[in-house]
Amino acid sequence: MQRFGRSSLFVKFMAVPTVFLGNATAIANPLYPSISDSGIQALTLHAEPYDLLGRKIAIGQVEIGRPGKFGFDKRAAWQPQLNLSELFYVDGKAISDENVDDHAAMVASVMVSNDKRQLGVAPAARLFVSAVGSLNDAGQPEECLATQHIARQNSGDVRAINFSFGESLDRDDRPNPVLDGNSLFTQCLDWTARVYDVLHVVAGNQGSGGIPIPTDHFNGITTAYTTQFQGQEFNKIDFANLSDIPEGIGSSLIRAEINDGDRRAISLAAPGSRLNLITTFNKIKRVSGTSFAAPHITATVALLQEYGDRQIKAQATNWSLDSRRHEVMKAVLLNAAEKLEDQGDGKRLGMARTIFTKDNRTWLDSDAATNPEIPLNMQMGTGQLNALRAYRQLAGGQWSPTAPVASIGWNYDEIDHQSYHDYLIQTPLPASSFVAATTAWDRRVELNDLNDNNRFDVNETFQDLGLNNLNLYLLPATSDNLKDAICHSDSRVDSVEHLFCPVPTTGQYKLRVMFADRANERQQNYGIAWWSAGENYNATAETPSQFPRQ
């Protein structure tokens, strides 16, 4: 993650010490490890029968600087192979040769590079970029303007925006600021997520800290990064991530720069260690950091959205425009994450690897697995991004609680206060097989719109109207007693609930979403995704033909 510095533009582009790990070379790794089978498996989705490259999908990038563009910037005279649609400075047109930056270029390349030396996750997606510029000229209001401006591009149809930079609490105007979600920039992210229906992906804090805002947002995803551990696979949270319980040396720093209270910051992990990325000077630099993990998630949204739009065009059954909702995307990405390697029987839902924390523990060793009030692991959230699994999660289709649902699926719905929705899984689940389920909904933030133009302006502020409380339960199909729940997730402070647990006996089960406590509106929109192992279902034996192109 990149932070604001204290001197000239190009000096402040230097990220925290963990980011740059080697000298530039002219040799790239041809295997694209972070997007291949050792990483998020996006390369599989590029190939037939999936053929997903992010075509016609708009995604965004907001950062201190911006990548260079051939024909516009002198530093891009070598014709970088980036699919850049438009470049901006805050909310106006970019100026040639100004704010061009290596960090922004490398982040963009993770998303939309077509260079054979370093292929992006979604090389055909359309990237809209805004640079907020120098510390002397920009602060949280300008960062909000840039965010809003990118969200409004492509006729207001930008599916995800990447933020690989952060703000210091020292620069927050509030007295005694903490990470409670109420800095102006953080509130701006949650407001724009809801108003423009866009998924914000934020690089998590790391290294020596100093860049925590807006990692405390509610309505998007904050990421940690993984490294390659005991082999070539990305499967362990890197020590540089600042995402741990505040203990021992450095505890005061960690305590100040993680979320206030019990709410966890990290939603999802992604590869981000020792990646070979292309600079604005046409060199390959080996880099590490959450800055380069986050765009893996942002660009994966483009792959999924290309598939979703293909389904809409084909008028596929169990499908609707709801597949575009940011709450659905968040639930799908988090629920499809890898946690524990499957043993070949499909009971761990076909996961290809085990993800380890810094101290070599698994998700099941954490309080997220045992405490229903904690839905997310402190270091990895729900696990590590896997684009292929996310595709399979989305391909399961949309299912309403009004009828039995498939073993894998998702939905977007509205629920009334003090009511519940039951999702009865039609196929019996084998004993000791796991069920994964995730719900995601928005904290409600409103704009104090002084001139009634329905847009944020520099002199305006936001109001936090609080978070409605939804809970999630896994129950036997015939029971309505919450005491019979196999497992449940009922955090009072998070805008996500997540459960991952085995069923005790073979039989039918249901998921219950309950609107327990109201903070604002009487109706609450939510996205849900679930993945279970039906009778005799072997998830590891899935082939592309089971999820055909339509």
pLDDT tens figures, 166-217: 888 988 999 999 999 999 999 999 999 999 999 999 999 865 555 789 999 9
What span, in angstroms and rounded, lies between the C-alpha atoms of 286 and 292?
A: 11
Backbone phi and psi for residue 273, each to the nearest 5 degrees, phi listed first: -110, 130
Contact between 443 and 464 (Cβ < 8 Å):
yes
pLDDT of residue 262: 86
What span, in angstroms and rounded, lies between the C-alpha atoms of 73 and 131?
A: 14
Ordered DSSP codes for 61-115 = EEESSB---TTT-GGGTT---B-EEEEEETTEEPPTTSSB-HHHHHHHHHHHBEE
pLDDT at residue 218 above 60? yes
pLDDT of residue 246: 35
pLDDT of residue 535: 53
Whether the CA torsion 295, 299, 300, 305 is positive or negative: it is positive
Structure confidence by residue, pLDDT tens digits, 452-500 = 999 999 999 999 999 999 999 999 999 999 999 999 999 999 999 999 9
pLDDT, average across residues 123-152: 94
Ordered DSSP codes for 31-43 = T-GGGSTTTT-HH
pLDDT, average across residues 415-419: 98
pLDDT of residue 210: 58
Alpha carbon of residue 3 to chain centroid: 19
pLDDT of residue 209: 53
Lowest mean pLDDT among 166-175, 392-401, 517-526: 166-175
Contact between 525 and 440 (Cβ < 8 Å):
no
Hey, what amino acid is at 80? P
- Give, for 227, the enclosing helix (H) or strand (E): strand 221-228
Backbone phi and psi for residue 184, each to the nearest 5 degrees, phi listed first: -60, -45
pLDDT of residue 82: 96
Contact between 124 and 82 (Cβ < 8 Å):
no
Contact between 255 and 172 (Cβ < 8 Å):
no
Hey, what amino acid is at 458? V
Contacts of residue 549, Cβ cutoff 8 Å, sequence gap at least 6: 49, 50, 51, 310
Residue 424's beta-bridge partner residues? Answer: 510
pLDDT of residue 242: 59
- Which domains does the chain carry? 42-301 (3.40.50.200), 319-532 (2.60.120.380)
Contact between 327 and 207 (Cβ < 8 Å):
no
Average pLDDT of the chain, as a whole number: 89
pLDDT at residue 430 above 90? yes
pLDDT of residue 294: 98
**Of 197, 163, 158, 195, nearest to 57 (Cα)?**
158
pLDDT at residue 514 above 70? yes
What span, in angstroms and rounded, lies between the C-alpha atoms of 451 and 497?
A: 37
Angle between helices 290-313 and 326-335 (to 10 degrees): 120
Q: Tell me which of 469 and 5 has the higher pLDDT.
A: 469
pLDDT of residue 31: 65
Residue 344's SS3 state is coil
**Of 525, 540, 530, 529, nearest to 509 (Cα)?**
530
Lowest mean pLDDT among 128-137, 427-436, 512-521: 128-137
Is the bond preceding 428 in cis, omega lying within 30 degrees of 0? no
pLDDT at residue 325 above 80? yes
What confidence tier does 147 reach under pLDDT thresholds 50, 70, 90?
very high
Residue 531's beta-bridge partner residues? Answer: 408, 436
| Residue count of the chain | 550
Contact between 502 and 487 (Cβ < 8 Å):
no
What span, in angstroms and rounded, lies between the C-alpha atoms of 342 and 350?
A: 5
What span, in angstroms and rounded, lies between the C-alpha atoms of 352 and 343?
A: 9
pLDDT of residue 546: 42
pLDDT of residue 5: 33
What confidence tier does 397 reach under pLDDT thresholds 50, 70, 90?
very high
Whether the CA torsion 354, 368, 379, 213 is positive or negative: it is positive
What span, in angstroms and rounded, lies between the C-alpha atoms of 434 and 475?
A: 13
Structure confidence by residue, pLDDT tens digits, 229-278 = 877 789 999 987 754 443 333 333 344 567 788 899 999 999 999 999 99
Residue 97's beta-bridge partner residues? Answer: none
Helical ranges in 314-344 per DSSP H: 326-335
pLDDT at residue 13 above 50? no
309 CB burial (10 A radius; 0-12, 13-18, 19+): middle
24 CB burial (10 A radius; 0-12, 13-18, 19+): middle
Q: Which two tokens stand for residue 270?
A: 């992604």
